[in-house]
Amino acid sequence: MPKWVYNFGAGEAEGHAELQGKQEELLGNKGANLAEMASIGLPVPPGFTLTTEVCSHFVDSGSYPEGLKEQVQKSLQTLESRAGCKFGDSENPLLVAVRAGGRASMPGMMDTVLNVGLNAKTVEALAEKSGDERFAYDSYRRFIQMYADVVLGIDSSHFEKMLRRAKQKRGVNEDHELGVEDLERLVRDYKTKVFVELGAEFPTDPQVQLWGAIGAVFKSCSSSRAKTYRELHDISEDAGSAAATVQAMVFGNGSGPDSASGVAFTRNPSSGDNHFYGEFLLNAQGEDLVGGIRTPAELTMQARLAHGNTLPSLEERMPKVFRELVAVREQLEKHYKDVQDIEFTIQKGKLYMLQTRAGKRTTHAAIQIAVDMTNEGLITKPQAVMRLHPSQIDQLLHPTIREDAKKQVIAKGLPASPGAAMGKVVFCADEAVQRVNDGEKVILVRSKTSAEDIHGLHAAEGVLTTCGGMTSHAAVVARSMGRPCVAGAGHLEIDEAAGKLKVGDVVVEKGQKLTIDGSTGEVLLGDVPTVVPKVTGAFRTLMSWSDEYRTMQVRANAETVADARLAKDFGAEGIGLVRTEHMFFVGMRITAMRQMILASDTRDRKDALHRLLFMQREDMTELFQIMEGHPVTIRLFDPPLHEFLPNTEAELSYVARAAGVPVDRVRRRATELNEANPMLGHRGCRLAITYPEICEMQTRAIFGAAVEAGRTAPSKKFPVVEVMVPLVASVGEFKIIKQIIDKTAAAIQKEENVNFEYRVGSMIELPRAALQAAKLAKHAEFFSFGTNDLTQTTYGLSRDDTGSFMAEYKAKGIVACDPFVTLDEDGVGELIKLAMTRGHSTRPDMKMGICGEHGGDPTSIDFCQRIGLNYVSCSPYRVPIARLAAAQSALKARGEEVGSPEIRAAKPRVPTFGPW
């Protein structure tokens, strides 16, 4: 006969030792924690738990398993003897609470019935025994209301209304001000209401009540409410089975000055401060606190003073009980090694613990608590590092709207790239650049963006689109550039011709200020104040501990001075990807770039390149200076040239004017350069093969900057320059380009009479490059996996074009997650591993890293660690995330357990963004 029921109480818990590690699975989170508390000697009212297996049996077959009734009766007898009273007894009646506890914690989702066992006889006995008639009828009233709601399915609002009327009649505000007579009348009225609604009498047999409550609890776990919750929180249906715990009632709703119910967190769950944090209500049962019907009092005097609460704190009102509770708090934290969310009841001056569970907390608090607990010796440093899900800290790394700011939200879109940004509204990329050159800040507003808008995206503070989703072009590019983005704000209407943005009655004209919050998707009118993030205090400590365990390097993708500084502040150990073309999108550079593309002869082209050379050298010098000796990995020009030329007539003539050429020539050149599949076209190293002068110019700029940075450095040391060749498909390409680079480097070393080291590496972003890795490694000195392109080509999937079907692919379970967000280990991952093996077979000490979008995704970072990459490179804003993820991955490899119980129970709700 399987064991269906487990007892607890009187300082022990049945089967505690055997169940180690699977208590929650079998007893539900609530039953398991009660048993746990009982086993460590905390004052827990005795009880027993019907396992989740009973629930599964009940849900599947609609009936209880054989032998259950007998086991429950036996446990009930044990309970009676422990509680010193008898269920249904007309003199000394035992009342019980029946509570649901899911395998996963689903607060507020599962049903509970309190005070089970009351009827006309037992209520009298309760009154007699307690000498508190009001308390007895209060309990009876509560029981009928709760049982009718949870078990009989009669809407609670009927009873609320009747309760309200009774208080009005009596002229009082609060429940506990009702007298015995009022309550007796309410009980009668409630029973009548039940009869009317149900067509049957309210059950009076305690056994009928008990099994009714147990059945309701089991049913509640398959309610649509619970299902929705599990969906929202990514809890599997399998983890949805509940256990039912039957526990002797203790009463906080007695009438005296020494009965109360309370809830508390062992530490402040918002700030993480190590202060006991909670509240209680005199003469109340637990649900009164949850319902918020009266103002509760604070636990501690300190909190009362801080909040200006005039009600005496528990510390002041019941110092002895308070001391007991403080001791419980300490014992719980020592036992669970985590912050606890507890419920307790004080019955005539005696403390009872009704619940404990890992406390939900803000990211800020989670960090503070992890660090404090380590310093207190409760947990180890590795445990502290494992306590957070890396993506949780994303919210700490972006500018946020100030909490006290006045906000006028005019629309809501998708939170496509986190952070808040403010600027003047512009509708066209070129105008964005123009205004930014004039010293203004802009928000670029478009129905959707394309490659031709990149310079505008770069110039803007943030991007707002009315079409497209989380992986639309605007979203992806904005994330890659660390620009906030709200995408697909469909209620907004753009009237570009009139220079207006409309939503309902609100009209925003071009040039007016707008704020967007890419973390929430909100679009706000005007200039809303924001707060800039800092890595300080406990956060800084936790990050430094992460670095102690981390074995993989974390670099940043950055090309602007601002991004490079931010990356450094956030702990980047170098730059893993400088997208040189991004430097060409800014200000005068784009004009020179366009002149280069439009040049009709070699002289014009060389002229334009010469101007670009000076500008690019200056940019590079600054990057080297900021990175002071950390490696800087520079990717040669990558995108197809037509990204620099516009398509619309208005923009064409603007460009023609700026470049000083006839509009026809711009149009012709744009048409000439137009490609059927630009992603697979004339780009990457293919450009360096056909336009070696661009490669020469860039190489000259890079090494010129290296010399300049070395000479001006306090250490006089030259920077570590790594040049990488994009979109390599064959060894021949790499060899030709490496020759250009080596030749230029030699020329500059001779001209400047210096000697600097540099490395030339290959990007591996095409399947063929991965396959050819052994041969490539003969010439390439490092590999950088460009996982964006590698995912595109391995899947044959353009990231810009997945919008029309990716949602359906996820819904049908074809992909578990967007392969552009989390690296596809099966396909893309295999190619990476293969390239590593082959590359190392030729050059065993070769450094390899990734610089694709996945470099900032924790799951992908874990993969990188497992396969032994040397570094990941990600958006500056994700550097701390990557540091933490890499540390956790290294610790996991050492056998450390991931996450707190809270994190293990449910996946984080924070959406995982895919930055570059």
Region of 8-16, 196-204, 383-391, 809-817 interacting with a second copy (CB under 8 A): 809-817
- Give the type of residue at 3: K
Region of 199-207, 297-305, 561-569, 670-678 interacting with a second copy (CB under 8 A): 670-678
**Distance between first and last Cα of the chain:** 58
**Which is it for the CA torsion 366, 368, 374, 376, positive or negative?**
negative
State the number of CA atoms in the 13 A half-sphere of 128 facing the CB: 11
In the bound state with a second copy, the residue whose beta carbon lies nearer, of 538 and 806, is 806
d(C-alpha 274, C-alpha 300), whole Å? 13
- C-alpha distances in angstroms, 495 versus 549, 731, 856? 54, 51, 37
* Cβ neighbours of residue 114 closer than 8 Å, sequence gap 6 or more: 97, 142, 143, 146, 249, 285, 286, 287
CB of 732: closest distance to a second copy in angstroms?
4
Q: Which of 444, 432, 507, 501 is nearest to 473 (CA)?
A: 444
Region of 198-206, 571-579, 583-591, 676-684 interacting with a second copy (CB under 8 A): 676-684
Residue whose structure tokens are 């980047």: 572
CB of 561: closest distance to a second copy in angstroms?
31
Region of 178-186, 215-223, 481-489, 724-732 interacting with a second copy (CB under 8 A): 724-732
Is 99 annotated in a binding site? The answer is no
Residues 465-524 that bind a second copy (CB under 8 A): 473
User: For 40, phi and psi rounded to 5 degrees?
Assistant: -100, 15
Active-site position among 473, 582, 642, 779: 473
d(C-alpha 89, C-alpha 101), whole Å? 28
Instruction: Identify the residue among 815, 867, 898, 903 touching a second copy (CB under 8 A).
Output: 815
In the bound state with a second copy, the residue whose beta carbon lies nearer, of 271 and 447, is 447
Q: Does 690 bind a second copy (CB under 8 A)?
A: yes
Is 851 considered catalytic here? yes
Q: Does 766 bind a second copy (CB under 8 A)?
A: yes
Instruction: Identify the residue among 813, 844, 894, 895 touching a second copy (CB under 8 A).
Output: 813
Region of 118-126, 154-162, 480-488, 789-797 interacting with a second copy (CB under 8 A): 789-797
d(C-alpha 205, C-alpha 162), whole Å? 25
Instruction: Identify the residue among 828, 846, 890, 905 touching a second copy (CB under 8 A).
Output: 828
Region of 69-77, 503-511, 586-594, 796-804 interacting with a second copy (CB under 8 A): 796-804
Instruction: Identify the residue among 450, 653, 749, 859 touching a second copy (CB under 8 A).
Output: 450
In the bound state with a second copy, the residue whose beta carbon lies nearer, of 686 and 907, is 686
Transcribe 231-243 into DSSP letters.
HHTT--GGGG-EE
* Cβ neighbours of residue 560 closer than 8 Å, sequence gap 6 or more: 582, 586
Instruction: Identify the residue among 587, 681, 899, 901 touching a second copy (CB under 8 A).
Output: 681
In the bound state with a second copy, the residue whose beta carbon lies nearer, of 262 and 468, is 468
d(C-alpha 450, C-alpha 432), whole Å? 15
Element containing residue 420 per DSSP (H, E): strand 420-426
Element containing residue 49 per DSSP (H, E): strand 47-50
In the bound state with a second copy, the residue whose beta carbon lies nearer, of 429 and 727, is 727
Q: Does 448 bind a second copy (CB under 8 A)?
A: no
How many chain residues touch a second copy (CB under 8 A)?
Answer: 50
Q: Which of 424, 420, 422, 423 is nearest to 401 (CA)?
A: 420
The dihedral region occupied by 131, where left means phi > 0, alpha psi between -120 and 50, and beta the remainder, is left
Q: Does 180 bind a second copy (CB under 8 A)?
A: no
Q: Does 742 bind a second copy (CB under 8 A)?
A: no
Q: Does 671 bind a second copy (CB under 8 A)?
A: no
Instruction: Identify the residue among 638, 800, 853, 857 touching a second copy (CB under 8 A).
Output: 800
Residue whose structure tokens are 């899900």: 389
Q: Does 397 bind a second copy (CB under 8 A)?
A: no
Instruction: Identify the residue among 60, 201, 808, 845 touching a second copy (CB under 8 A).
Output: 808
Instruction: Identify the residue among 153, 814, 893, 909 touching a second copy (CB under 8 A).
Output: 814
Q: What is the largest CA-CA distance in the chain?
A: 108
Is 635 annotated in a binding site? The answer is yes
Instruction: Identify the residue among 20, 61, 602, 677 touching a second copy (CB under 8 A).
Output: 677
Instruction: Identify the residue among 78, 792, 889, 912 touching a second copy (CB under 8 A).
Output: 792
User: For 732, phi and psi rounded to 5 degrees?
Assistant: -55, -45
Q: Does 729 bind a second copy (CB under 8 A)?
A: yes
Q: What is the CA radius of gyration of the chain?
A: 34
Is 789 annotated in a binding site? The answer is yes
The dihedral region occupied by 753, where left means phi > 0, alpha psi between -120 and 50, and beta the remainder, is left
Q: Does 836 bind a second copy (CB under 8 A)?
A: no
d(C-alpha 206, C-alpha 212), whole Å? 10
Active-site position among 55, 85, 851, 864: 851
d(C-alpha 132, C-alpha 253), whole Å? 10
**Which is it for the CA torsion 245, 250, 251, 252, positive or negative?**
negative
Three-state DSSP class for 588?
helix
Structure tokens at 824: 């596809």
In the bound state with a second copy, the residue whose beta carbon lies nearer, of 759 and 809, is 809
Q: Which of 248, 261, 275, 283 is nearest to 343 (CA)?
A: 261
Is 521 annotated in a binding site? The answer is no
Structure tokens at 862: 């874990």
Is 160 annotated in a binding site? The answer is no
Residues making up the annotated binding site are: 579, 635, 765, 786-789
Residues making up the annotated binding site for Mg(2+) are: 765, 789
Residues carrying an active site annotation: 473, 851
- Give the footprint of a second copy on this chain (CB under 8 A): 450-451, 473, 675-682, 686, 689-690, 727, 729-730, 732-733, 736, 765-768, 771-772, 789, 792-798, 800-801, 804-805, 808-809, 812-815, 824, 826-828, 830-831
Residues making up the annotated binding site for substrate are: 579, 635, 765, 786-789
